Amino acid sequence: MYGIRLPPRSGIASVQIMKTALLTHADCLSHVTPTGHPERVARLEHVLHALEPLDLTRVTAPLAAEDDILRVHPKSHLEELRRTLPADGYYQIDGDTFTSPGSLDAAFRAAGACVKAVDMVLGGEAPNAFCAIRPPGHHAETDTAMGFCLFGNAALAAKHALDHHGLSRVAVVDFDVHHGNGTQDLLWDDARALTITSQQMPLWPGTGRADETGVHGNVLNIPLGPDTGGAEMRSAWRDQAFPRLRSFRPELIIISAGFDAHQDDPLAQLNWSTEDFAWITAELCKIADEVCDGRVVSTLEGGYDLTALAASAKAHVEELIKAAT
């Protein structure tokens, strides 16, 4: 499948104006967590409210096909989630990961949004896309739901682009404050996928050291000490991540967009500002313009201060819109 021709954006733009796509579904609000849990319904409500005034192509996220999930997870993982799904109340998977009756519908919509976003961006229907979804995905390992995550949304989107669309190189870029251990696990031995992730260290889940580099040297971990601010973060990404991303020349960039590195976030101790999230998004879009005709699919991961989350997600999507025009 190497050598697949992707439609150039300029050719499509001559016949219609394309906008950044926003993919979401009300089912993502039906994944309910116990009172006081940080990964709560209000997160997505705040993000969607903040995005309301923006000029976007609004897309109803489909349910993922089972095959989309099975590209990265064994059938047993899916069966276990189905078997334990509660008829009411909650099922506790681990210390902080729960399912409620609506969780699997939400998880299938979250994964389906990411797959559909890849289809739209690779098919020339949108220059770039943001998936406003929950549950998040980057902590879900091959056969383990964890860290509020059930399916590896970013990784399964990458595999969909590689296996279904026949791409040769896809990058997953993760700036959530927590290490994307799940994405790393799911893409660890795939030379076609470059994973670049910065995270606070030490911090849960404890992985993400610089010497974790993947089977083919296809993983770049950038640990950041507690209290790292915007200037330090920017130079780390400028010095390490961006040159690596440019030399890999991905045909698609997938962003795991977590906003919990924000200085107001209650779960971690990095000191990024809303402007820092705009900056990193603009830089990633600039690289995407250079190497892959601007193709970016971004998906929501963490972010637990509702005000900071909404403002940062809005700043992120505004940069996607700027890059698309």
Q: Which one of the listed residues 73, 77, 139, 179 is annotated catalytic?
A: 139
Cβ distance to Zn ion smaller for residue 185 or 260: 260
CA dist., res. 111 & res. 71, Å (int): 12
Q: How far is the CB of 11 from Zn ion (least distance, A)?
A: 38
Site string for Zn ion, 167-186 (x = CB under 5 A): ---------x-x--------
- Binding residue count for Zn ion, defined by CB under 5 A: 5
Cis before residue 250, ω within 30 degrees of 0? no
Q: Is 139 one of the catalytic residues? A: yes
Please state the closest distance from residue 128 (CB atom) to Zn ion, in A.
22
Segment lying near Zn ion (by CB under 5 A), choices 75-83, 149-157, 197-205, 297-305: 297-305
The stretch among 12-20, 217-225, 295-303, 305-313 that binds Zn ion (CB under 5 A) is 295-303
| Binding of residue 258 to Zn ion (CB under 5 A) | yes
Closest separation between CB of residue 41 and Zn ion, Å? Answer: 17
Between the two ends of the chain, the Cα-to-Cα distance in Å is 30
The verdict on 223 binding Zn ion (CB under 5 A) reads: no
255: left (phi over 0), alpha (psi -120 to 50) or beta: beta
* 302 lies in the binding site for Zn ion (CB under 5 A): yes
Q: Does 260 bind Zn ion (CB under 5 A)?
A: yes
Report if residue 135 touches Zn ion, rule: CB under 5 A.
Answer: no
According to the binding rule CB under 5 A, does residue 109 interact with Zn ion? no
- Using CB under 5 A as the binding rule, whether residue 43 contacts Zn ion is answered as no
Closest distance to Zn ion from the beta carbon of 206 (Å) = 13
| Among 247, 181, 166, 258, residue whose Cα is nearest residue 214 | 181
Stretch near Zn ion under the rule CB under 5 A, chosen from 24-32, 117-125, 254-262, 288-296? 254-262
Binding residues (CB under 5 A) for Zn ion: these are 176, 178, 258, 260, 302
Active site residue ranges: 139
